[in-house]
């Protein structure tokens, strides 16, 4: 299992719905866009030059946004 898949699996186990897509920017570079949301409807969307970097950033954004008393450890 690749590391981004572990992050995605842990997001799912923590109750998050997630997805990703690659796109080509105006400079011809591939960018990766990853998103996650839960039932509260607040989406988190990030982009990066690599798929793993996008998932690491997504995990980081979620960790910062979730209040400390509700923090779920996403990486085991």
How many folded domains does the chain comprise? 1
Show the DSSP H helices in the chain as ranges. Answer: 3-13, 51-65
Specify whether the CB–CB gap between 45 and 28 falls below 8 A: no
Question: Which phi and psi angles does 32 have, rounded to 5°?
Answer: -115, 130
73 within domain boundaries: no
What CATH number is attached to the domain comprising 21? 3.30.160.20
Confidence at 74, pLDDT banded by 50, 70, 90 = low
Domain limits for position 20:
3-65
**Axis crossing angle, helix 51-65 with helix 3-13, rounded to the nearest 10:** 30
Q: Which residues, in sequence order, are bridge partners of residue 20?
A: 34
Tens-place pLDDT, residues 15-64: 999 999 999 999 999 999 999 999 877 899 999 999 999 999 999 999 88
Per-residue pLDDT at 8 exceeds 70: yes
């Amino acid at each position: 299992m690749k590391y981004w898949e572990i992050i995605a699996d842990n997001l799912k186990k923590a109750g998050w719905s997630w997805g990703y897509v690659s796109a080509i920017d105006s400079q011809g570079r591939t960018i990766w866009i990853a998103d996650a949301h839960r039932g509260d409807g607040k989406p988190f969307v990030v982009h990066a030059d690599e798929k793993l970097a996008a998932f690491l950033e997504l995990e980081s954004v979620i960790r910062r946004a979730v209040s400390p008393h509700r923090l779920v450890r996403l990486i085991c």
